[in-house]
């Protein structure tokens, strides 16, 4: 548009007014009401920003870690032959599957990996937050530190996952930008134990379950009898409430090839590495092979090989505790003493249901089974 002189004069007049107004706004102190409103706005903005960043560190990201870690573990244990064939150690396999959509093992994936979840969180924040607010989370696998572990804090039925990652929240009021060190605890119940699949040439699979003494662990301490009855059978309820072993409790335990803590046994993480001769003071767990092939999950023992040279059919001369049986490394009181095994086979209440079942003398005492030698399973 071509400006004539009158237009030019009007244009410069308007520009002069805008410049003068701007200078006045800068130089003239705002009214008391404006200051109060501004301070209130800043306080609210700072509070909400700080609350969100706190939730990010202590609620949102730990929840994401739990989801991504459990999904990774489920995918790894469910595809264990693929993991073993890759030659990767378990820590590397877990870290990659936990964080990335496409780990280095072909065919192994995790749709709920952390990179995906963090990207979705950023998108949701951008859509819901005011303009000039920005959330940026570290998604590069090479720039985060991941560690999966077990210790006294996790106990035998959980793993801990520690993630160190940078999180940045930028608002018009303040900037939050630091490396967060987050720990989340993930239950192993329901995941597959690769020991069974690997040492039976893929014939049998077993899944981590609580023993009847621990079966109510996921319920609150104030659980009512009615709540228990809706979840468990009468034998399991009684065993859980009494917190002590007897042959009837052990029979339920054996039927399900469930797991119980023992410092002489390998931990979940050692099992993931197929280290069945390892022991863990904090987190060792063991199960027993169920030789009742007519029961779901029962094993046809005549087809199973173990640490013994020769074909002894159904009647294996080894304690049926899983890591001892498959490794053949438990000896004497803990394992394969022939004379003692002959005495142990007189556990009449167990051998009626579980033919040729054997348990070593150490576990005969540990699981309070000595009363079963001369009597029925009912006490």
Q: Which of 163, 187, 211 is the last residue of a domain?
A: 187
Domain shared by 173 and 202, yes or no = no
248 occurs within a structural domain: yes
For 50, other C-beta atoms within 10 Å of its C-beta total: 15
Ordered per-residue pLDDT tens for the chain, 379 residues? 444 444 444 434 444 443 444 343 334 445 544 544 445 556 666 888 888 899 999 999 999 999 999 999 998 887 766 666 566 788 988 999 999 877 777 777 788 999 999 999 999 988 888 888 899 999 999 999 999 999 999 999 999 999 999 999 998 888 999 999 999 999 999 999 999 988 888 888 899 999 999 988 776 555 677 777 788 888 998 999 899 998 889 999 999 999 999 999 999 999 998 899 999 999 999 999 988 877 777 788 777 766 555 556 667 778 889 999 888 888 887 877 666 666 666 666 677 778 778 888 888 889 988 755 555 555 4
What pLDDT is attached to residue 314?
67
Domain shared by 303 and 270, yes or no = yes
What pLDDT is attached to residue 80?
65
What pLDDT is attached to residue 46?
81
120 occurs within a structural domain: yes
Q: Which of 187, 208, 241 is the last residue of a domain?
A: 187
Domain interval for residue 357: 192-372
Q: Which of 166, 187, 208 is the last residue of a domain?
A: 187
What pLDDT is attached to residue 26?
38
Domain shared by 154 and 213, yes or no = no
The count of structural domains within the chain is 2
What pLDDT is attached to residue 32?
46
Q: How far is CA 193 from CA 31, 76, 281, in A?
A: 70, 11, 19
Q: Is 87 left (phi over 0), alpha (psi -120 to 50) or beta?
A: left
* Sign of the torsion angle spanned by Cα atoms 82, 83, 87, 88: positive
182 occurs within a structural domain: yes
Say how many CA atoms lie within 13 Å of 211 toward its Cβ: 24
Domain shared by 99 and 201, yes or no = no
Domain shared by 237 and 259, yes or no = yes
245 occurs within a structural domain: yes
What pLDDT is attached to residue 310?
52
Domain shared by 79 and 211, yes or no = no
Domain shared by 121 and 207, yes or no = no
Domain shared by 145 and 212, yes or no = no
27 occurs within a structural domain: no
37 occurs within a structural domain: no
Whole-angstrom Cα distance, residue 234 to residue 249?
11
Domain shared by 200 and 125, yes or no = no
Domain shared by 177 and 319, yes or no = no
Three-state SS sequence of the chain? CCCCHHHHHHHHHHHHHHHHHHHHHHHCCCCHHHHHHHHHHHHHHHHHHHHHHHHHHHHHHHHHHHHHHHHHHHHHHHCHHHHHHHCCCHHHHHHHHHHCCCCCCCCCCCCCCHHHHHHHHHHHHHHHCCCCCEEEECCCHHHCEEEEECCCCCCCCEEEEEEEEEEEEECCCCEEEEEEEEEEEEECCCCEEHHHHHHCCCCCCEECCECCCCCCCCCCCCCCHHHHHHHCCHHHHHHHHHCCCCHHHHHHHHHCCCEEECCCCCCHHHHHCCCCCCCCCCCCEECECCCCCCCCCCCCHHHCCCCCCCCCCCCCCCCCEHHHHHHCCCCHHHCCCHHHHHHHCCCHHHHCCCCCCCCCHHHHHHCCCHHHCCCCCCC
Q: Output the CA angle 34-35-37, nearest 5 degrees.
A: 65
35 occurs within a structural domain: no
Domain shared by 128 and 149, yes or no = yes
Domain shared by 170 and 201, yes or no = no
53 occurs within a structural domain: yes
What pLDDT is attached to residue 191?
94
């Amino acid at each position: 548009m071509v400006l004539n002189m009158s237009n030019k004069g009007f244009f410069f007049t308007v520009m002069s007014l805008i410049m003068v107004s701007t200078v006045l706004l800068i130089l003239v102190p705002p009214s008391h009401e404006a200051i109060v409103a501004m301070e209130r706005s800043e306080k609210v903005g700072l509070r909400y920003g700080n609350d969100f960043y706190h939730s990010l560190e202590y609620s949102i990201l730990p929840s994401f870690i739990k989801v991504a870690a459990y999904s990774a573990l489920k995918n790894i244990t469910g595809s264990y032959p693929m993991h073993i064939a890759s030659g990767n150690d378990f820590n590397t396999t877990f870290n990659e599957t936990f964080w990335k959509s496409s780990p280095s093992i072909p065919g192994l994936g995790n749709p709920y990996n952390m990179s995906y979840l963090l990207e979705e969180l950023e998108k949701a924040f951008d859509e819901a937050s005011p303009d000039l607010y920005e959330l940026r989370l570290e998604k590069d696998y090479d720039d985060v530190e991941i560690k999966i572990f077990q210790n006294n804090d996790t106990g035998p039925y959980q793993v801990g996952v520690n993630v160190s990652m940078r999180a940045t929240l930028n608002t018009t009021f303040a900037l939050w930008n630091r490396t967060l060190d987050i720990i989340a605890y993930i239950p192993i119940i329901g995941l597959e134990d690769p020991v069974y699949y690997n040492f039976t040439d893929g014939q049998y699979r077993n899944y981590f379950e609580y023993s009847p003494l621990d079966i109510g662990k996921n319920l609150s301490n104030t659980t009512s009898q009615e709540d228990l009855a809706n979840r468990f059978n009468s034998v399991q309820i009684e065993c859980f409430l009494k917190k002590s072993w007897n042959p009837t409790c052990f029979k339920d335990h054996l039927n399900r090839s469930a797991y119980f803590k023992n410092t002489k046994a390998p931990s979940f993480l050692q099992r993931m590495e197929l280290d069945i001769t390892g022991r863990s003071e904090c987190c060792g767990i063991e199960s027993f092979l169920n030789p009742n092939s007519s029961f779901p999950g029962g094993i046809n023992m005549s087809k199973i090989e173990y640490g013994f040279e020769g074909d002894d059919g159904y009647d294996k001369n080894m304690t049926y505790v899983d890591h001892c049986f498959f490794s053949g490394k438990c000896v004497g009181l803990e394992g394969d003493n022939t004379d003692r095994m002959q005495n142990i086979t007189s556990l009449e209440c167990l051998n009626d249901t579980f033919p040729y079942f054997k348990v070593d003398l150490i576990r005969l005492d540990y699981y309070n089974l000595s009363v079963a030698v001369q009597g029925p399973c009912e006490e």
